[in-house]
Each structure stands twice: as structure tokens, then as C-alpha cells.
């Protein structure tokens, strides 16, 4: 048996070829533990050291089982691989080795993240059916759009049929209303057949509020730290080795048994860990080893609200070794530019000035004072760190769904400004990410929804949502939709009939072209931030030179974020022509020409309102 220190790496039941099953569970709080199965007498498990209990008995795939302490009520397995009857019910035996795959025949290798375009989706609202199988019908369209990676919001089992997924309690089990584990296998396999890599969103910073029995088994949690969700996961106190092994094995399960190509780690700033080797470093080391073993690139993308370079710096340089991290700075700067909103954390951003800063520096807050946080935030990202280690967007589940009414950018800004935002993101050195429906200009909200069966918990969620928006003066508490109301879920589900209109086809053409432009223009295909040079930055205009380290032709990105046409003048030699513009009539723009005038040592661009243009040497 492969081991992590003194602990087994593989958690949960192991199905053997001789008709027997080994059950093991870490329960250091219990001296005696019984395995309880339907149709069988309870069997006392054998202690196997350091809090582990194990037993091997005859059994079959699908058998229901649970664990009982001192004759008490049976509890589901903390490492259950299948919860077909809900998170409070008995677990079911699953044989992950029996999954049927076709991607081996394809010799599947994911595209590198450095050339990625990511598409984030929520299975429950991506289609009216809300299942993995229904989502498969849309994969070819994403491939044709230019998407390379599909990022799936959490699928770990949680209480109730509907939710965002961040309240998962059975981390090893796939949420049954989505189709369960076999359907997830079919989805991942279909993604690979469509040349799409899969990134799975995982939550290792807390358990959900209903259905987590971990604390009855052992010290999975600690009160030494507090999080927005209560007690923190125990990464550095008594029993932490086994908890860390539980997390690492969970990551290995998704990457091996379910063939996903990477993990997006939720809110790593809430992983409280004072150990000499933080869990993120341990996890990245394990994933790197696995990547070498399986011969394909596996990635870890961290969500962090700390502009800390150590997140993406390699381990030998003192970093955590993450492949990439989400970059909220660029989103916020673009959002402020096109909407003018200055509530909450948006009050810290200065529009186009900070867009250029994000292009060149990565972190806008790299030792800069934050009025919102009332402290200095961040430290500089070394210039050698590629922009392709940063994932940016104009919309994602947080930035839409954490608004009181779940409004998308398509509702907050007119079409000219939305095209402008897409242009700024598309030509950035960072990895672009779209949120589901964004490719056709969806206006359906993405609200926060839940389905907690417990009345007290349901009311706590309602109250919490109202209080969450106190810092946003425009989002009155009375306007917050009830997360528990089924109509909140229905309103958040994509209406795919909206994708087949002239305006939707124009928007899709814009995304298709800008993603192709990134791939085919060397100066835009590089993430080298050292190749970014500011030519002009003003409150409403900017000009940025992007060069290519291999010596290919540079391009200039010119933007006018004004309600009137204006001239943007900057010092630059050579003769330039328009390569691409967001104002093209093919995208629903006015088609007004971007005119270029050349001086002895400068360039003057006559720019239409709310327009981004890419210039190339004539």
C-alpha cells in the first residue's frame, strides 16, 4: 500500500478482484468503530495505528455502508466516493478503477495553460437539465469558439439538490443531482474528445454547514483560526498529517481516477497553515510528481485575495509552486473603466491607468495603499513571472453572483462598453477566462442560490446575503433575492435560445476573433510582461506597445474609453495600420473607421467612442 508518512494515500473503500472490499477510516477519536452495512451484522473494525481502523469483508460495488461509534447512529464515510441518497445517508461502494474511458485511445494531452482560454461553468445552471450529460451537447461549440479549458465549479456532494457547490461536505463524492460519478466521467471524457481540458474547482478551506461529520471522527477542524465559514481545516495542529493526506489524496483522485487536467483551489488565503511546509507547497509537489508519472501536464490555479508572488513562485524560490492564480486586479480595473462603479473594493481602482498597470506589473496592488482595506496591500510580482501565470476575466461566478441581483456586465453596461471590456481582456498578457453565456452576451443573472432543507440554516443564509452588501450603497438589502426560492435558481439558468440571435452571433464572432488574434499574433501570444511598454495613459485613453521576445513584429493597443470620438497621440516611430478593432460592424459595432496619422516621431489615432484597436506595422 502506497503511504503518505504513516497514512494510506488512497482513502475510502478499495474493491478487490476476489469479491472482497477493504474499508478503512481515520477516526482517532474512537477506540472502537463498527462497519454497518445493509443486510449484514455490524463488523468491528481493527485498529491499524495512528487512529486508522480497517476491515476486509465480502462485498459488491453499490453496497451501502456507514460507520458507527459505540452502537450509535451510523454516519457516512468522511471519504465516501458516492452518496446516491444525499450527504446524511449511508455511503455507497464505488470502484473507480472500473470507470470506462476513451481518452486513452486519443492519447490525450491537455494544451498548456500558457496558451489557454478558459470557460467557467456551473453544471446546475449551464443547461435547463442541470446535468453533466446535458452539458456535453455544448462542448463542440466551446471548442469552435477557441476555448481550450473548461473550468467546472465544485461538484463535491453538498446537502440539498441545488447550490453553487462551495458548501461541499463529501469531498470525494460527485454531487448526485448532477448525475453522480459515472456521469462526471462521461463529461470529462467528452471534453477530451472535443480537445478541451478540464479544470475542477475544489474547496479545501472549509466544509459546508450541513452534512459534515468529520469532527465526530477526528481533528479535521481547528478553532485556532477562524474563517468566514467557521472553524478552519486543521493543517498544522495535532492530527494534521492525516488531514493533509486527506486533502492531497482528494486532489490525486480527481487528477487520476477522474482524469481532470487541473484544479482551481478556492480561496487559498483561507488555508491557515503555520507549518514549515505549507499544504499548498505539499500539494504542488505531489501534483508535479504525478504529472511526471502520467506524462501529461497537470495544473493548479489558486484563487487568492492577497497579491503575494509566493503563490506562483516555484518552490525552490520559496514559493508555493502554483501554476497560476486568479488576477482580480485586472477585472476590477476593467470593470471600473466601463461601469464607473466605485462601491466596495471598486473604490480602490482608477480605470484605464490600472488596466495598463495590470498589463505590465501583474499586480496593481504591489505595495500600494488600499482605501477599502485601510492598509498597504501586496508586493511586486517579479518581472520574470509570465502574465500567463495570471488568469483574468471580465466576468466570473464571484463578480456576477456576489452582486445582490446577480447582474452581468451585459446588463450594467451598453454594448459598446462590453465590447471594449472584451477587447481589453483579449489583448492582455494574462490568460482569459469567460463565464458561461458570456460568449453570446447572456443577460440572465447568476444569483446566489441554495436549497438547505434546515429552516434555521435557510434563514441564516437569507440574513447573511442581505448583510453582505452593506458596503455597496447601490445594492440595498431589500433587493437581495431569496437564495432559497426556487425561482432564484430558475432565473440563473442559461436560456440557450438567446444564443441564436443576430446580436448573439455578433458577440460570439467577437470572442472567436479575439481569441484567434491572441493565438496567431506573436506579440499577443506571449505572456512576457517585460515586453509591455506604456506609451500613453490617461483617464480615458491609453496606448500600450506589446513586443515579442523572439523578435516578431510588435503591436500597439490603443483604447478610447470616452463617450466621444477623440484623438489618441503617442510618441512612436514607424508606420502603423489597423489590425483589429472592437468597433467592427461584424461585432455589432458602428464600423466607424479608426484613422491613423503619422508625424515625424509620433502617431495620432482618431478613435471612435468606446473602442479598442490593435495596430501593426504597415
DSSP 8-state secondary structure symbol assigned to residue 266: T
**Angle at Cα 304 formed by Cα 178 and Cα 130, nearest 5°?**
15
Other CB atoms closer than 10 Å to residue 479's CB: what's the count? 11
DSSP 8-state secondary structure symbol assigned to residue 571: E
DSSP for 321-378, written as a single string: --SEEE-HHHHHHHHHHHH---SGGGGG--THHHHHHHHHHS-S-SSEEETTTTEEE-
Nearest to 443 by CA among 405, 476, 477: 405
Nearest to 208 by CA among 190, 228, 191, 193: 228
Those residues with Cβ within 8 angstroms of residue 41's Cβ, 6 or more apart along the chain or in another chain? none
Q: Considering all CA atoms of the chain, what is the largest pairwise distance in Å, rounded to the nearest integer?
A: 91
- How far, in Å, CA of 242 to CA of 238, rounded? 9
- How far, in Å, CA of 157 to CA of 141, rounded? 28
Backbone angles phi, psi at 224, to 5 degrees: -70, -25
Those residues with Cβ within 8 angstroms of residue 496's Cβ, 6 or more apart along the chain or in another chain? 127, 138
Which residue's entry shows cell 509537489?
285
Please indicate whether residue 266 is annotated as part of the active site: yes
CA-based torsion, 11, 13, 16, 21: positive or negative: positive
Question: 152, 119 in Cβ contact below 8 A?
Answer: no
Nearest to 439 by CA among 147, 200, 197: 147
Q: Which of 34, 189, 266, 282 is catalytic?
A: 266
Backbone angles phi, psi at 320, to 5 degrees: -90, -15
Q: Which of 303, 328, 354, 416 is catalytic?
A: 303
Distances (CA, A) of 58 to 22, 23, 604: 9, 11, 80
Active site amino acids: 266, 303
Amino acid at each position: 500500500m502506497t503511504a503518505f508518512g504513516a497514512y494510506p494515500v488512497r482513502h475510502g473503500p478499495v474493491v478487490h478482484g476476489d469479491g472482497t472490499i477493504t474499508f478503512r477510516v481515520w477516526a482517532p477519536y474512537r477506540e472502537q468503530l463498527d462497519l454497518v452495512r445493509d443486510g449484514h451484522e455490524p463488523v468491528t473494525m481493527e485498529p491499524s495505528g495512528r487512529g486508522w481502523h480497517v476491515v476486509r469483508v465480502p462485498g459488491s460495488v453499490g453496497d451501502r455502508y456507514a460507520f458507527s461509534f459505540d452502537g450509535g447512529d451510523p454516519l457516512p464515510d468522511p471519504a465516501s466516493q458516492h452518496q446516491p441518497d444525499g450527504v446524511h445517508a449511508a455511503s455507497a461502494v464505488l470502484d473507480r478503477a472500473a470507470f470506462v474511458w476513451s481518452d486513452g485511445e486519443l492519447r490525450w494531452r491537455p494544451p498548456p495553460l500558457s496558451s489557454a482560454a478558459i470557460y467557467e461553468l456551473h453544471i446546475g445552471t449551464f443547461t435547463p437539465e442541470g446535468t453533466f450529460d446535458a452539458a456535453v451537447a455544448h462542448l463542440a461549440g466551446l471548442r469552435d469558439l477557441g476555448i481550450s479549458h473548461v473550468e467546472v465549479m465544485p461538484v463535491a456532494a453538498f446537502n440539498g439538490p441545488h447550490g453553487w457547490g462551495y458548501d461541499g461536505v463529501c469531498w470525494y463524492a460527485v454531487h448526485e443531482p448532477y448525475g453522480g460519478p459515472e456521469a462526471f466521467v462521461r463529461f470529462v471524457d467528452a471534453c477530451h474528445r472535443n480537445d478541451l481540458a478540464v479544470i475542477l474547482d475544489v474547496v479545501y478551506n472549509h466544509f459546508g454547514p450541513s452534512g459534515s461529520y468529520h469532527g465526530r471522527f477526528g481533528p479535521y477542524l481547528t478553532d485556532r483560526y477562524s474563517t468566514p465559514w467557521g472553524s478552519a481545516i486543521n493543517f498544522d495542529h495535532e492530527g494534521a498529517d492525516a488531514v493533509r493526506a486527506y486533502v492531497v489524496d482528494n486532489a490525486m483522485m480527481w487528477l487520476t481516477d477522474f482524469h481532470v487536467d487541473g484544479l482551481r483551489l478556492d480561496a487559498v488565503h483561507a488555508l491557515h497553515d503555520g507549518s514549515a511546509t505549507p499544504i499548498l507547497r505539499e500539494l504542488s509537489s505531489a501534483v508535479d510528481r504525478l504529472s511526471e508519472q502520467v506524462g501529461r501536464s497537470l495544473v493548479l490555479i489558486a484563487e487568492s485575495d492577497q497579491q503575494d508572488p509566493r503563490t506562483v513562485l516555484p518552490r525552490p524560490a520559496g514559493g508555493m509552486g502554483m501554476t497560476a492564480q486568479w488576477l482580480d486586479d485586472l477585472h476590477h480595473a476593467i470593470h471600473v473603466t466601463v461601469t464607473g462603479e466605485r462601491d466596495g473594493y471598486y473604490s480602490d481602482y482608477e480605470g484605464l491607468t490600472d488596466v495598463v498597470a495590470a498589463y505590465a506589473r501583474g499586480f496593481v496592488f504591489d505595495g500600494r495603499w488600499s482605501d477599502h482595506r485601510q492598509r498597504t496591500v501586496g508586493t511586486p510580482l517579479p518581472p520574470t513571472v509570465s502574465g500567463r501565470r495570471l488568469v483574468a476575466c471580465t466576468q466570473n461566478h464571484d463578480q456576477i453572483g456576489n452582486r445582490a441581483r446577480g447582474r452581468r456586465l451585459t446588463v450594467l453596461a451598453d454594448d459598446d462598453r462590453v465590447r471594449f471590456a472584451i477587447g481589453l481582456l483579449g489583448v492582455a498578457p494574462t490568460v482569459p477566462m469567460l463565464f458561461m453565456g458570456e460568449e453570446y452576451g447572456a443577460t440572465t443573472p447568476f444569483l446566489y442560490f441554495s436549497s438547505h432543507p434546515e429552516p434555521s440554516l435557510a434563514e441564516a443564509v437569507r440574513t447573511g446575503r442581505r448583510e453582505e452588501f452593506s458596503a455597496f450603497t447601490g445594492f440595498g438589502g431589500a433587493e437581495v433575492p431569496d437564495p432559497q426560492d426556487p425561482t432564484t435558481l430558475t432565473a440563473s439558468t442559461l436560456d440557450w435560445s438567446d444564443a441564436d440571435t443576430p446580436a448573439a452571433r455578433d458577440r460570439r464572432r467577437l470572442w472567436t476573433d479575439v481569441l484567434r488574434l491572441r493565438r496567431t499574433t506573436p506579440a499577443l501570444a506571449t505572456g512576457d510582461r517585460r515586453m509591455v511598454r506604456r506609451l500613453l495613459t490617461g483617464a480615458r485613453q491609453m496606448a500600450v506597445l506589446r513586443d515579442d521576445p523572439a523578435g516578431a513584429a510588435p503591436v500597439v493597443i490603443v483604447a478610447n474609453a470616452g463617450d466621444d470620438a477623440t484623438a489618441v497621440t503617442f510618441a512612436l516611430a514607424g508606420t502603423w495600420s489597423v489590425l483589429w478593432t472592437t468597433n467592427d460592424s461584424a461585432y455589432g459595432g458602428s464600423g466607424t473607421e479608426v484613422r491613423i496619422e503619422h508625424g515625424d516621431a509620433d502617431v495620432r489615432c482618431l478613435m471612435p467612442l468606446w473602442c479598442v484597436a490593435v495596430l501593426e506595422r504597415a
